[in-house]
Amino acid sequence: MLHLETQSPESPMAQSTTTAILVIGGAEDKVHGREILQTFWFRSGGTDATIAIIPSASREPALIGERYQQIFEEMGAKYVKVLDIRDRSQGADTYFKQYVDECTGVFMTGGDQLRLCGLLADTPLMERIRQRVQLGEISLAGTSAGAAVMGHHMIAGGSSGESPNRDLVEMAMGLDIIPEMIVDQHFHNRNRMARLLSALSNHPERLGIGIDEDTCAMFEKDGLIRVVGRGTVTIVDGREMTYTNQPEVEASEPLSLHNLRLHILSHGDSYNLHQHQPVAKISNPH
């Protein structure tokens, strides 16, 4: 997936300006400490950052795009531009592509993940963004709907508060940025564990990532996921699942899922994707 030198997980802001993928659970702090947004700004180059904001998931893209533009400009970014894409044809726009060729960070806002994928999937613009992310040339962040689209398989909708069952979740194709993952957001805030488990029942080869509000799972190039923010990141590993009744029961009937591995990570924790295990935070002696 991603390859780079291993760094201390103690402080994401203090590590370096190496690029990363920031998968944000939504409702990130935009007013006070702005820790997650500051981390994205820093990983995009800080005062040298040239940032592209894609608000296409939102029903009010101009308003939400302007808000993030103001935030990153206040932080001191060198240049910030809103790519207000409202039609798939704009995904082939030469001007937009030129800006993406030159930027150091791309930020996808919240809204409707189906709308976002409908506008961006398989467009030249998205292909260029994916290429630059994979090469480690830019940082990419997505919040809420912008987080949901990161995987190959995407949770497009569904319910909560029930036992896991196939009717509980609606799946679609994502943007394939981190194909190994199925991401759910606003996770504990909206009681979405059963929804994520329902998604994994049909795709046990994937890693389920549930991200709380004002929380970020930051995918580093060294194969670590680092947790930033106030809540938790839930990782459900079904790759050693020994049994599920998923093929045998009706869509509305409860699912059996045996031998799943569950990890709950908080601020400062990391998860090693190569070793499939968490890395505890380093205590700060001060």
Residue 59 has what DSSP assignment? Answer: S
Q: Let me know if 252 is a catalytic residue.
A: no
Find the catalytic residue in 28, 186, 201, 220. Answer: 186
Q: What are the CA-CA distances from residue 20 to residues 130, 134, 140, 150, 171 (Å)?
A: 12, 10, 7, 13, 26
Q: Which of 82, 34, 39 is nearest to 60 (CA)?
A: 82
| Greatest distance between any 2 Cα atoms in the chain | 56
Q: Which residue of the set 56, 58, 139, 144 is catalytic?
A: 144
Name, in order, each residue with C-beta under 8 angstroms of 156's C-beta and a sequence gap of 6 or more: 113, 114, 148, 170, 171, 172
Picking from 265, 150, 249, the residue whose alpha carbon sits closest to that of residue 198 is 249
User: Is 162 a catalytic site residue?
Assistant: yes
CA 16 – CA 18 distance, rounded (Å): 5
Has 248 been annotated as catalytic? Answer: no
Q: Active site residue: 35, 66, 127, 162, which one?
A: 162
**Distance separating alpha carbons of residues 92 and 130, to the nearest angstrom:** 15
In sequence order, what E strands does 145-258 have?
153-158, 169-173, 181-185, 207-211, 215-219, 224-229, 233-237, 243-244, 257-258
The residues assigned a catalytic role are 144, 162, 186
